[in-house]
Chain A
Amino acid sequence: MLPSISAGIWRGAQHILRTSRVAPRRTGLCTCAGIPGELCDAGTIFALSSGHGRCGVAVVRVSGPASTTALRCMAGLTHSLLTPRTALLRSITDPQSKEVLDRGLVLWFPGPHSFTGEDSAEFHIHGGPAVITAVLQALGSLPGMRPAEAGEFTRRAFHAGKLGLTEVEGLGDLIHAETEAQRRQALRQMCGDLGRLYQDWTSRLKRCLAHVEAFIDFSEDELIEDGVLNQVDTSVCDLQAEMERHLKDERRGERLRSGVQVVIAGATNAGKSSLLNTLCQRPAAIVSPIAGTTRDVVETALDIGGFPAVLSDTAGLRDSPDLVEREGVRRARERVEQADLTLVVVDCAQLPSDAQQAPAFLQGHLSSILPTQERSQTERCLLVLNKTDLVSEEWRQQLETELRRSSGLPPVCLISCQTNEGLQDFLAALHSSIKALCGDPLSGAPSLTQARHRAHLQQCVAALSQYHRYRDTDLALAAEGVRLALTSLGRITGRVGAEEILDIIFKDFCIGK
């Protein structure tokens, strides 16, 4: 078995080698172009750069000065063993526990002859989520390493003058897509207990920083109560202890299902639950002609053409006086917000009788369902017109003609869950959408987000120790530690600006002119 896997890995490596050679060297660019974005600071970054789904091999990329450290600590490649651009079969071990995580190929690309122009490394490992997570976490535990931000590899390549202008134009879209995927992934994780925990830490840390800053900026002129700093001391200790405990806790909290998140949404009685049942070929959800039958989210894991997907059926969207149903609608909207792909189900019989008006009607309908920032992204939505068995053949053909003519609508499928008419076409469309989404390593992989969070939390804890180190000798440097900690945590929960800190200061202390 091993030889065949190695062959697979080898093909992956060659592919990467080829693409990295193709990237043109345009050093002229870097003289006048700065790196954009706020996270291009120094340091070594890593990320999973292959997609997920049915893949035997996963590629983890590392770029930055500590790449050789990663190769030494995790693949045992000391300086004398490093050979540029050559694939070596090595045991990949955890740098702390020395436990063998996997056997795979490792490659070293010394700068400037690499995709990013920096020293880079690649780990080609087995594609299982456990192995990927273990390798990513091992990388994150090395000093100077952090998970890459959206598009950061490409940005570094751009900065090193490795990209042509046309590629740079595409970079904006790429970063947009990646940040969107990360945002959705984070949303999925942040709405639960974990999210509340991180938010609580952030607000406590903000308060700590505000109080240290108030003490620095105002205590000489204004009456800042004694003991403000003592409270901060306690809070910082508590936070550090809580984060460390959290990092050690082997229970990772609620296990998030891996796979592309597909959400079925639409008005009541459009046939959403029927669609779910049709797709999973069993009655997973209760179906009835009564509007508002589905009230909670019904979730099923599915394999669609070899790609993992989590299909969620949601309550029909309508204003309801019923408390339980209202909660169901709120959850439905939340799911749509977090979805990688939304199937908007519409009852054909509810469309305007004049087929010419259908596109405009559907457009309006979509904007009432999809969150604002996604209305323009038609590739993340499929429009399912259900119950074709209830309309006349003639009207249906008119409708199809009109839909072909109109632009700006997502792909449309006409089906009948009752008669299974059009189901094959719909499955093909669904398959191609999911396949496209799976090419993006960020969609549907909660372990990646967890690895990111872990690395940021570790940095946060480390920065807080700077507070204690300088607390009594240099408060400016102590505050710097809290600031850095907040920046690290802010990469999970959102950036905190100076004005927010001032808001807290002015709220908690009486500061004069």
Chain B
Amino acid sequence: MAVCVAVIAKENYPLYIRSIPTENELKFHYMVHTSLDVVDEKISAMGKALVDQRELYLGLLYPTEDYKVYPSHQLCRYGYVTNSKVKFVMVVDSSNTALRDNEIRSMFRKLHNSYTDVMCNPFYNPGDRIHSRAFDSMVTSMMIQVC
């Protein structure tokens, strides 16, 4: 279950960040922020700009981390970067279901598609916060469904 989804711009500021409100949101923000370093590391390690989606998907960014409130939960962070260096970071709670890599990839794919739909809107300025309701609903479905 995705507990937090974040879209980070190229300049590493958040375009969209949303987490399940039951938890301390600030903690998620912090986690996402720390993941950015890992993402950058992986991007630079890649070297050439390959357009393969496998390259876009960064995989598990950080080893699981114990949760303070719920020690049984293990949070995994996954990263995904687009060609325009927009990063998606997703924090999933892997305690309930062992999410397979494919599922994570499909979730990122959906995120990416929704993000491109937002981009297609001429009234959206790249770099603005994302307020698209379609995007919101997609993220909501992702956060609830996987759970």
Do the two shown chains form a genuine complex with each other? no
Interface residues of B (CB under 8 A from A): none
Interface residues of A (CB under 8 A from B): none
